Structure 1
Amino acid sequence: MARVRITQVSSTIKRPLSQKNAIKSLGLGKINRSVELEYNDALKGAINKVQHLVKVEEI
């Protein structure tokens, strides 16, 4: 599987709880924080829910 780097670029203030939980499940929580994860279907769903809050790069 491919690895991706996910960086949070926007705040979760005034966002629905489901989006806040998706950011938390990705291991993020502060702007400019990055994580490297294996890309799979569960990760794809979480990224899709918060695509406007994160930047995704393939490594």
Structure 2
Amino acid sequence: MASKLRVTLIKSKHGRKASHQACLIGLGIRKIHNTVEVEDTPCTRGMIAKVSYMVRVEEQ
């Protein structure tokens, strides 16, 4: 079974590049302090790496 990652948005997405905002939408994050659980796959790791300055990641 694949492990999960808990991703929390800690900085505002407003005023950021469109591609970075798209990564947040792809992860399912909508608001500041919103937390989502996503599968730990290379695809999601890439999206998290792109917006790493705006999110906090915890492994489950």
1:9 aligns with 10
- How far off is 1:14 after superposition? 1.1
- Percent identical pairs in the alignment equals 34
Number of aligned pairs? 59
Gap regions ≥5 residues in structure 1: none
TM-score by length of 2: 0.93
1:30 aligns with 2:22: no
Give the drift of 1:53. 0.6
Give the distance between the partners of 2:49 and 2:34, measured in 1 at CA: 18
Could you give the per-residue CA deviations for residues 6-36 of structure 1, whole angstroms, max 9, x where no partner exists? 0011101110000000000000020000011
Q: Which runs of 5+ in 2 are unaligned?
A: none
SS, match of residue 14 in structure 1: coil
- Secondary structure of the structure 2 residue equivalent to 1:35: strand
Q: CA RMSD in A?
A: 0.7
TM-score normalised by L of structure 1:
0.95
Corresponding residue SS for 2:5: strand
Structure 1 ranges of 4+ moved more than 3 A = none
